[in-house]
């Protein structure tokens, strides 16, 4: 299975004088777990924001599932099947866990203002389906017992899971996770790893930014390494690990 799902080419993004992304090219294939690593400030999150439409790239090509997404609005990107989570959790803190996931269904439901006010049978059915699907997703990520809890009252690990559930609610083809294991203990990380494998086995491609090298190496099919806005390596985990440029970027060069 080497059918390309996401293809970017020659992507540039500048913030004033800072060249945050410099000629980035990536291809993510259907069904793989693709890792993105790099030292702090390498441009990983910027690339993420470009891929999810929150930032508009300055130049380049961006196609997803056969659709041109260059400089498209976030809702178009989500609608075509890319969903994300955030590095520092961004849940709707004062909504219940269930409501958080229900918001994720927004893009896959249609009821207009008139539907909401007049409540024809189709709108009622849709609303009921949103609720059922949201509850299913809470089951799926393993926090069904917290459905009615406010998101801000959940524990840290459960908030991470809830964010994943909310992203899955948009029926993504590509799930982009920004450091999902940050701040987790080894047991939680193991559980997260299992969850990601389950998601992949259910047919969702995963793009993963992570600092936990052990997790990345054990989970990802392919890895790209960014440094100073440039891609310095790409390939199988083992090859990347022994790439001298990668070691240099992480550890610096030994003085002669």
The binding site for other proteins (CB under 8 A) comprises 52, 54, 73-75, 77-79, 83-84, 86, 90-95, 99, 102-107, 109, 111-113, 115-117, 119, 123, 126-127, 130, 150, 152-156, 166-167, 170, 183, 185-186
Strand intervals (E) in the chain: 4-15, 18-29, 33-37, 59-64, 67-68, 82-84, 174-178, 205-209, 222-227, 230-235
Nearer to other proteins by Cβ, of 153 and 197: the residue is 153
Closest approach, Cβ 47 to other proteins, in A, equals 15
Nearer to other proteins by Cβ, of 52 and 205: the residue is 52
Closest approach, Cβ 217 to other proteins, in A, equals 20
Closest approach, Cβ 110 to other proteins, in A, equals 9
d(CA 109, CA 89): 25
Nearer to other proteins by Cβ, of 19 and 131: the residue is 131
Closest approach, Cβ 23 to other proteins, in A, equals 25
Contact 25, 51 (CB under 8 A): no
Closest approach, Cβ 166 to other proteins, in A, equals 7
Nearer to other proteins by Cβ, of 21 and 184: the residue is 184
Contact 75, 83 (CB under 8 A): no
d(CA 174, CA 160): 18
Closest approach, Cβ 132 to other proteins, in A, equals 14
User: Locate tokens 């609610």: which residue?
Assistant: 169
Contact 192, 181 (CB under 8 A): yes
How far is the first Cα of the chain from the last one, in angstroms, to the nearest whole number?
A: 45
Of 46, 52, 49, 54, the closest CA to residue 21 belongs to: 46
**What are the CA-CA distances from residue 246 to residues 10, 25, 223 (Å)?**
21, 17, 11
Nearer to other proteins by Cβ, of 73 and 198: the residue is 73
Nearer to other proteins by Cβ, of 58 and 127: the residue is 127
């Amino acid at each position: 299975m080497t059918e390309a799902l996401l293809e970017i080419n020659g992507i540039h993004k500048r913030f004033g004088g800072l060249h945050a992304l410099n000629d980035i090219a990536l291809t993510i294939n259907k069904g793989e777990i693709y890792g993105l690593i790099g030292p702090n400030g390498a441009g990983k999150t910027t690339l993420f924001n470009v891929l999810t439409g929150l930032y508009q790239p300055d130049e380049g090509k961006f196609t997803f599932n056969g659709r041109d997404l260059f400089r498209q609005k976030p809702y178009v990107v989500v609608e075509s099947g890319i969903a994300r989570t955030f590095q520092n959790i961004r849940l709707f803190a004062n909504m219940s866990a269930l409501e958080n996931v229900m918001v994720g269904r927004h893009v896959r439901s249609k009821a207009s203002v008139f539907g909401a006010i007049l409540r024809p049978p189709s709108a009622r059915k849709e609303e009921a389906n949103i609720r059922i699907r949201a509850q299913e997703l809470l089951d799926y990520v393993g926090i069904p017992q917290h459905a009615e809890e406010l998101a801000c009252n959940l524990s840290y690990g459960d908030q991470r899971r809830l964010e994943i559930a909310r992203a899955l609610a948009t029926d993504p083809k590509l799930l982009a996770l920004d450091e999902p294991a940050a701040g987790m203990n080894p047991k939680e990380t193991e559980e997260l790893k299992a969850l990601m494998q389950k998601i992949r086995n259910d047919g969702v491609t995963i793009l993963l930014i992570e600092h936990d090298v052990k997790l990345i190496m054990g989970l990802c099919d392919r890895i790209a390494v960014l440094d100073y806005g440039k891609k310095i390596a790409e390939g199988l985990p083992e090859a990347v690990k022994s790439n001298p440029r990668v070691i240099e970027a992480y550890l610096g060069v030994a003085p002669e």
